[in-house]
Structure 1
Amino acid sequence: MTRTRFRRFCLAAAVAASTAAAAGSAAAATLEAVTDPSFVPFEMLDQQSGEMVGFDMDILAEIAKRGGFDYNLRTMDFNGIIPAIQTGNANVAIAGITITEEREQIVDFSDPYYDSGLRILVPQNSDVDELSDLQGKKIGTKIGSTSFDYLKQELGDGADITPYPGSADMYMALMSGSVDAVFYDAPNVGYFAKTKGGDRVKTAGPLYEGQQYGIAFNEGSEWVDDANEALASMREDGTYAKIYEKWFGEAPPAQK
């Protein structure tokens, strides 16, 4: 091998090694992920395994696999999640987070991955039929949630609104009679009514304020496009539908 050919060989090898190293670095990227510990059935602690499970957990795992990143997951109260992303203390959050204009000013969202809304939950013997019936009553909801903002906007000082740190807290307050109703995200309210609520509670009224959940990233995050591509491919190949059916017992509604 001549000296010139040897130099070319070394240069090519160096370029190949650099490219491989860069690819390996991208594949090995580890994001700090956060979620809410008690938003059933989106995220909840499996008592047997000690791991977080749920619809959101399966969605995040699949997106990470297709998007080419790993993640460390930790839990925190819902009202701390957006600030954690905003300040860079976390890189990605999935916790049934409603996409709002206010939140979009401080974090970047993926495309919507779940259509939701807000719903009333009351004791079986309650005569509440709609939101206006909650005037003058005690209502439990969740700190930092869009349901709290909606109640303040619609009822103002006409109701005694108590924000709780976790969904389990507000449901316990309802079951014990400390509040007259709970107003919160429809899928979580419906799940509680069908499971732990048993025959003691019921949902009331229509679905309020149609909402969409998104995955939150730091502003300017390079992973938003990868997450969107992963979500699109999951819908196309049926993976999204399988995850949805696993946790909600039915096929997802057709996309509009």
Structure 2
Amino acid sequence: MLNFSNTIRKASLLGALSTTLILTACGSNDEEVSQWDEIQEEGTLTVATSGTLFPTSFYSDETEELTGFEVKIAREVAARLDLDIEFTEMGFDGMLTSINNDQVDFAVNDIDISESREEDFLFSDPYKFSYGSMVVREGDYSGIETMEDLEGKRAGGAATTIYTQIAEGYGAEAVTYDNVTNDTYLLDVENGRTDVILNDYYLQTMAVEALPEIAVTVHPELFYRPNNQGIIMKKENTELQENINSVIQEMLEDGTITELSEQFFAGQDVSKEPDIDFAVEE
């Protein structure tokens, strides 16, 4: 059994996320090989992740090893493709840059599949379905009763996340952080440095539950923007995408992803789409 309460203190709310051919010249005869061919030849998938985003990518207190919902999914993907795996830890912006610079093959870090990102990157089929929530102060909910009440509030988050963009879209002032831990985020809401944190419902509920001494709560009525997450990779890597999707579907059908979800999300199955009413659908 993982010690979530201790581990989550060291984790972050924000990390805050096949197969078309990339053709390259190979040797003197100009023989063309794909990115997938290169991966198979090297025998290793290189993966970017934060290592601080509980419960999807973090270090276990017991084993001191990198683990988490998506870390385990990535390891299983590699195993089913008969490949080794190598993780590199970095912030979210660095992940996207590393993908485009061919420094990693893909990234996993609770990264939303969005239309804007799909213009520049490929995603696997989704394996996590979620929605947005708000961490606010206990008692008065930071004075927020509707989405419109975000105007003029100070919203903690990472600079380029979708949740920060949503907050700013409603007139909030963004207070940005770079890969800090949960207690920093939550304490800043409690002490008034910020008023609210917009982020994934599952991540936020687990963070608040693990740090009960901090006087914050998840707003009980304001849920918004149903979304889903998957593996993100370079736009040209369709052959890699096809191979990953093949094993993701196997893992969904044989219950592997449900089992991992229940392990890391306190018995909840995040591979199923939620059935709730949303204040905002997008």
The normalised TM-score by structure 2 is: 0.74
Partner of 2:195: 180
The residue type paired with residue 226 of structure 1 is: N
Q: Is the 8 A contact 1:27 1:69 kept in 2?
A: no
Task: Name the structure 1 match of 2:162.
Answer: 146
Aligned mate of 2:179, from 166, 179, 184: 166
Residue deviations 1:45-98, cap 9 Å, x none?
Answer: 224433211111111111111123222101111222112112212111000001
Match of 2:119 among 95, 102, 105: 105
Which structure has the larger Rg over C-alpha atoms? 1
Identity %: 23
- 1:41 match: secondary structure: coil
Q: Is the 8 A contact 2:153 2:173 kept in 1?
A: yes
Structure 2 CA distance for partners of 1:42 and 1:177, relative to 1, 3 Å: same
1:239 equivalenced with 2:256 (yes/no): yes
How far residue 165 of structure 1 moved from its aligned partner, in angstroms, is: 1.3
**Which residue of 2 is the match for residue 214 of structure 1?**
230
Matches within 5 A, 1:48-127: 48-127=62-141
RMSD: 2.2
1:240 and 1:161 map into 2 onto residues whose CA distance is 34
Could you list the runs of 5+ residues in structure 2 that have no partner in the other structure?
1-36, 275-282
Identify the structure with the greater helix proportion: 1
2:245 is equivalent to residue 228 of structure 1:
yes
Q: Secondary structure at the match of 1:38?
A: coil
Structure 1 unaligned blocks of 5 or more: 1-22
How many equivalent pairs are there?
A: 230
CA apart distance, 1:167: 5.2
Alignment TM-score, normalising by the size of structure 1 = 0.81
Give, in whole Å, the separation in 1 of the partners of 2:273 and 2:223: 18
Distance in 1 (CA, whole Å) between partners of 2:213 and 2:78 is: 36
